[in-house]
Structure 1
Amino acid sequence: MDKPVIVGVDGSDPSLRALDWATDEAALHGLPLCVIHSQAWGWYEGYGPTFGPDRSALRVYGENLVGSAVERANRRAAAVKAYGELVTEDPAAVLTRMSREAFAVVVGGLGAGGIAGLPLGSVGLAVAARAQSPVIVVRGDERHLRRSFRRIAVGVDEAEQAHPVVEFALREAELQSAALDAVHAWRCPAREVPDHPDHRSDSERHRALAEDALAEALRPTARVKGVVEVRPQAIEGHARKALLDVANTADLLVVGARRRKSHLGMQLGPVNHAVLHHAPCPVAVVPHA
């Protein structure tokens, strides 16, 4: 059975935009769509849990929300097999668990309990840090959500870890008839000290190394030569700035999951955090091999 696109909904406008985006993604790949709503979503995003007689009303609300979401998906793409599930499990936990058998997990850029100034909801951030499938956080204005730029951007890190990230971005570009901009950021420490005696030659060496690393990471793109326009960009500077700049005119920004363990569990790296909170378009976080 094909792995589904899984989308978490909480009734907020951002989650409905995520639902629409996930429906289009399922149609693009010919995959089923699974709509998930957790009754625990409200308290997870900042509201208190309900323990009194209103728990039955909460369940009815959840069932109606899931049913309406499935109907919305069916109206948007009749060919997509859409179905829904109402769960009581912690939303981040259930989406993370279901990611093991998902093509991708899709969440909105801000949950129903979101706080102004925190552009990414806590559920989305937790899932992006732990999921085993790609996680797509849907954000941006209508130009980006309509996929009107015909352009996919991918951030390329170390070549040996980039394969699943590049493959995901390449498949998206191929199915959407979009160009693929592959960005690899590099820095030259000597160049950042203006009076360093050898900063010019050192800079040229770092640029050459970056271009070689980018070319190696993009070897899988050879299979779509003539089908997808691949545009490598070795950019000097901070990775977060390079990625946010290229995302301005992209329908989707794809990055690898830079995860690290801490006393709080799995955490994303600073570049992942920057693009998830500030990118002007949807962001796909793809686990490294």
Structure 2
Amino acid sequence: MVLPIVVGVDGSEPSLRAADWAADEAALRGLPLRLVYASLWERYEGESLAQDLGEPSEQVTAEDIVRTAAQRARLRRPDVAVSTDVLPEEPEYALVREGRDAAALVLGSRGRSGFVEMLLGSVGLTVAAHAECPVIVLRGSHDNRVRPVARGRVVVGIGEKATDSAALRFAVQEAKLRHTTLDTVRAWRCPAHETTDHPLLAGEPARLHEQHATEVLDKALNDAPAAVDLRRRTVEGPARRVLLDASHEADPVVVGARRNPGHPGLQLGRVAHTVLHHSACAVAVVPERA
């Protein structure tokens, strides 16, 4: 069964940029593209969008939204098969369910209800925290233009338990498809209580932590395909800051999110949560099984 790339659209510019990006991703992978509009409040959403567009509300419906996004995707990638659907549900629940039969979900950073586009909206955050497939949130480029797919290298954060990592496998695939470098990053820190003022020992704790980071990185990459152009980096500092710095020259940044079955709360972790809110490029959140 060929699983599609699914993108959530709502007529906002961020969601249309997400549809563009998803069309490029579908073309890269040779997959179909599925555009989904989900809302229980179409009557009010339609009136709001009509005001934005300066048109009568009866002319702006959910069908208009998905049709416009589909036309845009087909013009951008004529070789990609595009389908659409309108779902009378809350978008976060509809998209999480869609993710059960998707190769990936693609979302804009914020929908029309967002107040500050620099922060991720509640729908994107909920979907990234609960979807069973990779969720790609389009960040950066807030100028209504999508940059070329291969504008930067693929960056993946390597966690402490990175052996057999789904996030790493996803990043390897992305780098191969894009014919670009895979930048594997392991952040490390030396706890303050381990520092010493003795001149012969100063720096020894830091060296040991850096060495451990190198060992974790080497172990994670032990079975990485030779065909991928790998760049290995250990960087001192909080993982959140290290990945945000790397996001300025990347597209996308890939992070893992451990899923704990039966846990009702958001299952993202501090690193993924921060990167989703503040990354300068697209972020791919890949579920990792606990």
* TM-score, length-scaled by structure 2: 0.86
The residue that corresponds to 1:93 in the other structure is 93
1:271 aligns with 2:274: no
Q: Matches of residues 112-151 of structure 1 in structure 2 within 5 Å?
A: 112-116=112-116, 119-141=119-141, 145-151=147-153
Gaps of 5+ in 2: 49-56
The residue that corresponds to 2:52 in the other structure is none
Paired letter, 2:134: P
1:231 aligns with 2:234: no
* TM-score, length-scaled by structure 1: 0.87
Q: Is the 8 A contact 2:276 2:283 kept in 1?
A: yes
Paired letter, 1:14: P
> How far apart are residue 117 of structure 1 and its match?
6.4
The residue that corresponds to 1:204 in the other structure is 207
In structure 2, the CA distance between the partners of 1:140 and 1:60, relative to structure 1 (3 Å rule), is: closer
The residue that corresponds to 2:160 in the other structure is 158
The residue that corresponds to 1:189 in the other structure is 191
Stretch deviating more after TM superposition (67-76 or 245-254): 67-76
Structure 2 residue matching 1:145: 3-state secondary structure? coil
Deviations 1:17-60 (Å, cap 9, x if unpaired)? 00000000000000011100013367999x99xxxxxxxx7796
1:76 aligns with 2:79: no
Deviations 1:231-277 (Å, cap 9, x if unpaired)? 01111110001101111100110000145799962342221111001
Q: Is the 8 A contact 1:145 1:251 kept in 2?
A: no
Paired letter, 2:180: A
Paired letter, 2:85: E
User: Higher helix share goes to which structure?
Assistant: 1
Aligned partner of 1:173 among 172, 175, 183? 175
> How far apart are residue 118 of structure 1 and its match?
5.6
Runs of 4 or more above 3 Å deviation: 41-45, 57-60, 142-145, 147-150, 159-162, 190-199, 258-264
1:247 aligns with 2:247: yes
- 2 CA distance for matches of 1:17 and 1:191? 47
In structure 2, the CA distance between the partners of 1:74 and 1:147, relative to structure 1 (3 Å rule), is: closer
> How far apart are residue 135 of structure 1 and its match?
0.3
Deviations 1:160-179 (Å, cap 9, x if unpaired)? 45521111001000010110
Stretch deviating more after TM superposition (196-205 or 254-263): 254-263
In structure 2, the CA distance between the partners of 1:209 and 1:145, relative to structure 1 (3 Å rule), is: same
Structure 1 residue matching 2:182: 3-state secondary structure? strand
- 2 CA distance for matches of 1:105 and 1:165? 15
Q: Is the 8 A contact 1:145 1:281 kept in 2?
A: no
> How far apart are residue 187 of structure 1 and its match?
1.1
Gaps of 5+ in 1: 49-56
Structure 2 residue matching 1:268: 3-state secondary structure? coil
- 1 CA distance for matches of 2:59 and 2:277? 31
In structure 2, the CA distance between the partners of 1:144 and 1:239, relative to structure 1 (3 Å rule), is: farther
Aligned Cα RMSD in Å?
2.8
1:15 aligns with 2:15: yes
